[in-house]
Amino acid sequence: MNSKNLLKAIGMPIGDCYTLTSSTKYFPDNAAYRIEVPTINSIEALDKLLNEATKKGILINRVTETRGMFLHTRDELKEWVKLTNAYGCNLFMSIGPRATYDTSATVNTEDGFRIGYRLRGQDQLARGLEEILRGLELGISNFLLYDEGLLYAVNKLKIANKLNSDIRCKISAHCGYANPCSVKLLEEMGADSVNPVRDLQLPMITAIREAVNIPLDIHSDNPKSSGGFIRFYEVPEIIRIASPVYIKVGNSAIESHGSLTTGKDAVNIIRNIEIVSEMINRYSDAKQSVLKVGD
């Protein structure tokens, strides 16, 4: 026995997939990809983003807020729901992120980034559940999670019919998952989509897709705070190997994932979406989902 045989025995890829096999998996409407805009962290940015998208005929399938739902008032959250429902896209609100906001000293040290945005202590996990309950009251049922423990709790509560079964949870790249076995673990824990580490190469992404069925969330570009790299030309290949995939577009237009994004940022993000869309149309015949809210 060797490691490759052992991995094969448990149904996992034996290594990264250098043949870049095309995925045969799709969204329910048989589309290969959807467009997600992350780090839309203010009403101003959201309003401008959706208005500009409408003017330019751009279809955005998902908008994600990343500062933390608890930093927005109830009226603001209601406005988030109103604007995204009117446009017709799914809204994901982030839980926390708590570690960088609480009393942790470790998170502010040189090595403390390894905590990511995870929840420190059971009180913080309980507050994460309170965030979800608050969101449900306001018409929000999609949540971005930074902590595996919270994912575990939410999934168990859904199974026990203690939480709505239509709650959907996506896992942030800040959690640091970067191989097929770890992403498979999240799928088995109830994740509805997973954002692996942002800088994975195509053979690594292909192997993850072989192991899991849930959508993957892959960045086409990143802010300086997470490397600043842009892979627009790779997007058609990412769609081919990673379908069903959310292509996360626009973050190279901002400084960091926790930025309080503005209307000006939103205009630059739309510009990036136009470029990515050109690349897709030029080098691929992949289909984008036209299903919007709730799919």
- Tell me the C-alpha to C-alpha distance, in Å, between residue 277 and each of 33, 56, 243: 11, 12, 16
User: Would you list the domain boundaries of the chain?
Assistant: 3-283
pLDDT in tens, 92-103: 999 976 777 777
The band of 108, judged by pLDDT with boundaries at 50, 70 and 90, is: confident
Question: Phi, psi (5° rounding) for residue 33?
Answer: -145, 160
> What letters, b where the CB count within 10 A reaches 16 and e where it falls short, cover 6-39?
ebeeeebbeebbeeeeebeebbeeebbbbbbbbb
Q: What is the pLDDT of residue 231?
A: 96
pLDDT in tens, 20-50: 999 999 999 999 999 999 999 999 999 999 9
Instruction: Note the residue count of the chain.
Output: 295
Cβ(20)–Cβ(241) below 8 Å:
yes
CATH class in words for 3-283: alpha beta
Nearest to 170, CA basis, from 190, 185, 153, 149? 190
Task: Report the mean per-residue pLDDT for the chain.
Answer: 93
pTM of the model: 0.95
